[in-house]
Structure 1
Amino acid sequence: MSTHPNAPKRGLSAYMFFAKEQRENVREENPGISFGQVGKLLGERWKALSDKQRAPYEEKAAADEKRYEDEKANYNAHEDDEESA
């Protein structure tokens, strides 16, 4: 994995899209909850979702993975150009 600051960021997983969307709801429903407890509740909610309920997050993850692959290919092409110059 490259540590170059201009390297593209990896795509997010379906769970990460779900967690980003739901984190604030969990915090509002459970005032004073710790970071670890938020993660635990998010994990439980994710496991409880049906395949149909997960589908929008899976689609976002697939699109983000494609974005990453495209950006990585472009980044690597430019890195190769700079190395051969």
Structure 2
Amino acid sequence: MSTTSNRKTAEKAEKAPRTKAKKDPKAPKRALSAYMFFSQDWRERIKAENPDAGFGEVGKLLGAKWKELDEEEKKPYVEQASRDKERAEEEKNAYDNEKKNGAGSGGSGGEDVANDDDDDD
């Protein structure tokens, strides 16, 4: 049994040096879900109704409130999420096209990034 344990420890040690790729600060933001829009809208109300609740407890209360809502009450948040998804897709396509085409006409600061990429080629 100790060999399995040692093997798992060795596997973890091998994975440890792996670092996360740095995210481009100019990359578009991901779309928010209907629940996230609901949470933004209701968080302050829930906190006001439950002043002693911690962050996790507020999250649980928000989740319970979301489950209580019927489809008609969720509809504005679902529509907001749908619009945000379209926005995110448009921004991502524009961002991908800008990266693919060298970011020359991307607006402020984009040319510096393009020049840095061209130097590496």
Q: TM class by shorter-chain length? A: over 0.9
- In the alignment, structure 1 residue 16 sits paired with structure 2 residue 40: no
Alignment of 1:35-74 (within 5 A): 35-74=55-94
Gaps of at least 5 residues in structure 1 are none
Question: Cα distance, 1:2 vs. partner?
Answer: 7.7
CA distance in 2, matches of 1:32, 1:51: 30
The TM-score, its normalising length taken from structure 1, stands at 0.93
Aligned length: 85
* Alignment match, 2:97: 77
Q: Give identity over the alignment, percent.
A: 46
Higher Cα Rg, which structure = 2
Structure 1 residues 27-46: Cα deviation after superposition (integer angstroms, max 9, x where no partner): 10011210000000000000
Q: Which residue of 1 aligns with 2:25?
A: 5
| Counterparts of 1:80 and 1:59, CA distance in 2 | 32
SS in 2 for 1:40: helix
Runs of 4+ residues deviating >2 angstroms: none
Instruction: Indicate whether 1:25 and 2:34 are aligned.
Output: no
Higher relative contact order (CA 8 A, sep 6+): 1
Q: Quick check: which one's helix share is greater?
A: 1
Deviation (angstroms), 1:3? 1.5
User: What TM-score do you get using the length of structure 2 for normalisation?
Assistant: 0.66
Give 2:91's aligned amino acid.
E
